[in-house]
Amino acid sequence: MEFPFQLNNIICQKKNHNDSEMVGFCIDENCQEKNKFVCLDCLFEIHQKHKLVKIKDLKDIIENRYKNYKKKTVEEKELMEIYKKNEEFQLNKLKKFKNEINKVLEVKIINFMNDLKKIYTNLSKNITNENKYLNIKEFENFFKSNAAPTTSSELTKLSEICTNLYKEGYIKEEILEKKNDKNEKKETDKGESIIPLNIDENENKIELNSPLENFNKKLDELIKEQLELMTKYIEENILVISNNCFSIPYKFEWCSKSYTGDGFLYELTNNNRIGTKILEDRIMTILRAKEEIKNNSIYNIKFKIGLKTEGDFDIGIGTEKEANTCWLRNSESLCISNSGIRSLGIIMDNVTKLKDNDILDIEINTNEKGKYFKAILNNKLICMLDFEFDKAFIMAAMRNTGNYIEVLESKVSDFFI
């Protein structure tokens, strides 16, 4: 890449400096001169004993910086394009996913609607049963074509129709009568019996309720129930993994490094995820994570606290320097403990204390824009502390043997959302 700027051939503007070429540049902190370019005359007159660099060296530095800037600008632009493309690509995937879900639902609902249509078709069929009013229709038609029966054959015909109608009417009446009997009987029963006949009452209720009313009620209930079921399922199961999608599983392990002269005093089990203090009861010692916390990452770790016997118990983050003091209650550490929450050795909260079987979720955010340490104890946020120290480790410190700390879950993400 060409460096398009000229730093040589700059001419000194000072009187009596004879248009001399600038040969140096003053970088002296005590220099009072506003013009830092230096010709040979300037050098002897103004910048004696000043710290100078050659114009060529200044040019090299600026040129290098310029090259980096151009290169980075191109890289950043390319990266922005990749981000944009990928974002679109992923958003489209989600749109397709949404459409797929809609399709499945639509098929289900259309099937349901078709079933409903079938029910109504059958209901309609029952109403338009042709044979049901055959006799009365015939009766109606007879009088449409004849004002009154005038011949004996007409009279015979009308007689037949009337006989059939009488039979139909009689059957209906009989049913009605039987029903009335039943009602009367019920009333007598009621009078005699102390226990009301609930079965009959229920029967009446069903008869009184229009079948459509029931049907509507059932459909409303079904829709309400299905909607609740689906919402609950979706909320609990669908896309709840979205957070995990941006993070990677992180295999957290305790490390068997020792900070005491007495050696390593812990036993590590379950792939180095449980650290149990087994030696030197009553001496506070550090249990350190295998890996240092990386910058620009978010760590989420779930711990189970094993505080079987009373005694100091710290869990948090600290530097190696802090580890040598063998607990997390000094200048380069943060901790949740059995006696409160501490930041840089200062007690922030002396009410919140760790107990046996507590579940502690910690989040460590090392975004360069602002690092923080967040702790959630038994699903309740207990602190969010800013910190500035680098090269930190996740650490625990325990005094008594038999106490332990277990890592239940761990993940790390380098996305900031």
Give the DSSP H or E segment for 391: none
Nearer to Zn ion, 12 or 289 (CB): 12
Span of 45-53, 61-69, 147-155, 213-221 interacting with Zn ion by CB under 5 A: 45-53
For residue 21, what is the DSSP state?
Answer: B
Position among 11, 21, 27, 28 found at the interface with Zn ion (CB under 5 A): 28
Residue 156, number of CB atoms within 10 A of its CB = 11
Nearer to Zn ion, 26 or 336 (CB): 26
17 is a contact residue toward Zn ion (CB under 5 A): yes
CB of 15 to Zn ion, least distance (A): 9
23 is a contact residue toward Zn ion (CB under 5 A): no
39 is a contact residue toward Zn ion (CB under 5 A): yes
Asked if residue 391 lies in contact with residue 295, where contact means CB atoms within 8 angstroms, the answer is no
Position among 23, 24, 25, 47 found at the interface with Zn ion (CB under 5 A): 47
Q: For residues 66 and 60, what is the distance between their CA atoms, to the nearest angstrom?
A: 10
Give the DSSP H or E segment for 91: helix 55-127
Binding footprint of Zn ion, residue count (CB under 5 A):
11
Name the residue type at position 51: K
Nearer to Zn ion, 53 or 255 (CB): 53
Closest to 249 measured CA to CA, from 299, 304, 317: 299
CB of 31 to Zn ion, least distance (A): 3
3-class SS of residue 2: coil
Span of 49-57, 228-236, 273-281, 325-333 interacting with Zn ion by CB under 5 A: 49-57
CB of 22 to Zn ion, least distance (A): 7
For residue 8, what is the DSSP state?
Answer: T
CB of 410 to Zn ion, least distance (A): 57
Q: For residues 352 and 362, what is the distance between their CA atoms, to the nearest angstrom?
A: 15
Asked if residue 102 lies in contact with residue 234, where contact means CB atoms within 8 angstroms, the answer is no
Q: For residues 269 and 163, what is the distance between their CA atoms, to the nearest angstrom?
A: 98
CB of 19 to Zn ion, least distance (A): 9
Site for Zn ion in 323-342 (CB under 5 A): none
Span of 28-36, 70-78, 164-172, 311-319 interacting with Zn ion by CB under 5 A: 28-36
CB of 25 to Zn ion, least distance (A): 9
Cα–Cα distances (Å) from 115 to 119, 120, 121, 239, 373, in that order, read 6, 9, 10, 32, 57
298 is a contact residue toward Zn ion (CB under 5 A): no
12 is a contact residue toward Zn ion (CB under 5 A): yes
Span of 38-46, 234-242, 246-254, 277-285 interacting with Zn ion by CB under 5 A: 38-46
CB of 58 to Zn ion, least distance (A): 14
Site for Zn ion in 209-238 (CB under 5 A): none
For residue 251, what is the DSSP state?
Answer: -
- The angle that helices 152-192 and 134-145 make with each other, rounded to 10 degrees, is 140
Position among 24, 25, 26, 398 found at the interface with Zn ion (CB under 5 A): 26
CB of 246 to Zn ion, least distance (A): 53
Give the DSSP H or E segment for 67: helix 55-127
Give the DSSP H or E segment for 100: helix 55-127
14 is a contact residue toward Zn ion (CB under 5 A): yes
Position among 23, 24, 25, 42 found at the interface with Zn ion (CB under 5 A): 42
Name the residue type at position 64: N
Site for Zn ion in 50-79 (CB under 5 A): 50
For residue 85, what is the DSSP state?
Answer: H
Q: List residues binding Zn ion (CB under 5 A).
A: 12, 14, 17, 26, 28, 31, 39, 41-42, 47, 50
